[in-house]
Amino acid sequence: MYGDNRELTHYIGIYEDITQNKLAQQRIERLAYTDNLTNLGNRPAFIRNLDERFARDSDTPISLLLVDIDNFKRINDSLGHQTGDKLLISLARRLRNSLSTSGSLARFASNEFAVLLDDTDLESGQQVASQLLTTLDKPMFVDNQLISVTGSVGLACAPLHGRDPQTLMRNAGLALHKAKANGKHQVQVFTEALNAEASYKLFVENNLRRALTQNELDVFYQPKLCLRSGRLLGMEALLRWNHPEKGMIRPDQFISVAEETGLIIPIGKWIARQACRMSKQLSANGMGNLQVAINLSPKQFSDPDLVASIATILKEEQLPANLLELELTEGLLLEATEDTRLQLDQLKSFGLTLAMDDFGTGYSSLSYLKKFPIDIIKIDRSFIHEIPDNQDDMEITSAVIAMAHNLKLKVVAEGIETAEQLAFLRRHRCDVGQGYLFDRPIPGAELLEKLKRYPRGPIA
């Protein structure tokens, strides 16, 4: 304030106590950056940390670990969310204790944790990652119950696998995804191949939906013959994708994406209809009754509509049910729920034939051949391939045929390429054969002509 002569006389000061403001700010900050279950930092806190770390120093190596607790949903479902929460708190404490002070730990999502290790190269990062897995392996007491969990870890290091926070995070995520896809309970390190895999998957995802509506999908058919008489029994329908730029894409290149995206369900219905129509059309052209087989992915059994839709297709295409065969994977039976069994029983009661595909490559359990209404097993082509050079494969093949016959099952051998293989299979009384020796998978348009050269007769 100034006096009459413009001289400075005094100051006025104003003060306000902003303690409460500051405390509130801190509280907001804490809430925004803390996971309130475990009191660890949350995802935004971790990202902020990572950003700061890269801004400060982009040369010293760091390791980023994404840790996922395997099958956590099952724990929640069986023990309840409260126990699940307590378990997560214990796990967080365990992870915290097993890390040296230099590591920062955060909880990202329900069962996903992240660890940032400063000044840690790939080799040391891998060591810490395996230690974490071992730490998680030890059973723990929660709510008076001993609970065992396992974890999966994806690891990416800077600057080796990424020179900025986004790249590093994405690559650690791809590595984690790989660890889970490979069967969980393991550490996977990021590699460039994972990137290629991810972009291929994205390509398939983006194009497959269109494929279905734009008629890019096609069905090829491979004949199946009675090995005793040589007559034609039917054919297996095999999916093909004729991409406008990439050309013909084989199903093993896109079925897994179709399964992940759920597109396998409409695609499966589509091919079932095509196959039934084809059998009907062949019969209308004087080919008699030919049984057509389609491959079903386990994922299709999660569709509550599966049985009804197959019934509808058979009815609309007017195909007798005994002319449709379903090729199932072992995985389906291994993980079968009560629902799966019910679906299989219903399909079987319509009169469909059920075949176990790729037999011998997985668990090859005999018990589920008895437990489920299976009629046929298909010996995987990897066993046929080395006949007559591989003694083991020949013994396995003949044993499988004998065993199947004892269980009153018919046997199909696929992948028959040579006359020796055919002779061996006939000698061991294999019932049905399929393979390049007879025919490769044939485009639908050429099928009728090609099939005309086989001897035919009524199906016994």
Binds 363, which of Mn ion, ligand G, none (CB < 5 to 8 A, cut-off by type)? Answer: none
Residue 376: beta bridge partners? Answer: 355, 410
Residue 440 dihedral angles phi and psi, to the nearest 5°: -80, 170
69 within 8 A of 133, measured Cβ to Cβ: no
Among 35, 330, 357, 393, indicate the residue that binds Mn ion (CB under 5 A).
Answer: 357
CA distance 101 to 244: 55
- Nearest residue to 368 via CA among 344, 393, 395: 344
Q: How would you classify the pairing of strands 62-69 and 112-117?
A: antiparallel
* 428 lines the binding site for ligand G (CB under 6 A): no
Q: Is 238 in the site for ligand G (CB under 6 A)?
A: yes
In this chain, which residue has its C-beta nearest to Mn ion? 327
The reply to whether 70 sits near Mn ion by the rule CB under 5 A is no
Under rule CB under 5 A, residue 330 binds Mn ion: no
Residue among 139 and 443 whose Cβ is closer to ligand G: 443
- Do the strands 353-359 and 217-226 form a parallel or antiparallel pair, or are they unpaired? unpaired
Site for Mn ion in 217-256 (CB under 5 A): none
- Based on the shown chain and the rule CB under 6 A, indicate whether residue 251 belongs to the binding site for ligand G: yes
CB of 327 to ligand G, least distance (A): 6
- Residue 128 CB, nearest distance to ligand G (Å)? 40
> From the list 35, 70, 112, 358, which residue makes contact with ligand G (rule: CB under 6 A)?
358
Q: Which of 295, 343, 353, 397 binds Mn ion (CB under 5 A)?
A: 295
State the amino acid at position 197 in one-letter form.
E
* 259 lies in the site for Mn ion, by CB under 5 A: no
Stretch that binds ligand G, among 91-99, 153-161, 191-199, 251-259 (CB under 6 A): 251-259
Choose the one of Mn ion, ligand G, none that binds residue 417, judging by a C-beta under 5 to 8 angstroms depending on kind.
ligand G
Residue 330 binds ligand G, judged by CB under 6 A: no
| C-alpha of 319 from chain center | 33
The entry of ligand G, Mn ion, none near residue 251 (CB within 5 to 8 angstroms by kind) is ligand G
Query: CB count, 10 Å around CB of 155?
Result: 26
Tokens of 151: 């974890």
Please choose, out of 59-67, 83-91, 92-100, 249-257, the segment that lies near ligand G by the rule CB under 6 A.
249-257
**Smallest gap from residue 434 Cβ to Mn ion (A):** 9
325 binds Mn ion (CB under 5 A): no
Planar angle of CA 128, 134, 135, nearest 5 degrees: 85
Choose which of 62, 91, 255, 379 interacts with ligand G (CB under 6 A).
255
Token look-up 């395997």 returns 70
Which one of the spans 49-57, 150-158, 211-219, 292-300 is the region binding Mn ion (CB under 5 A)? Answer: 292-300
Angle between helices 19-33 and 43-56 (to 10 degrees): 100
- Report residue 113 as tokens: 């944790």
Q: Does 271 bind ligand G (CB under 6 A)?
A: yes
How many CB atoms lie under 10 A from the CB of residue 136? 23
What is the amino acid identity at position 175? A
222 in contact with ligand G (CB under 6 A)? yes
Number of H helices and E strands in the chain, helices first, is: 17, 17
For residues 418 and 387, what is the distance between their CA atoms, to the nearest angstrom?
9
Among 83-91, 180-188, 256-264, 287-295, the segment contacting Mn ion (CB under 5 A): 287-295
Nearest to 346 by CA among 306, 316, 312, 403: 306
Judged by DSSP in three states, 2 sits in strand
Asked whether position 126 contacts ligand G by CB under 6 A, the answer is no
Can you give the binding site for ligand G, defined by CB under 6 A?
Answer: 222, 238-239, 250-252, 255, 271, 295, 297, 357-358, 378, 381, 414-417, 434-436, 441
Can you give the binding site for Mn ion, defined by CB under 5 A?
Answer: 295, 327, 357
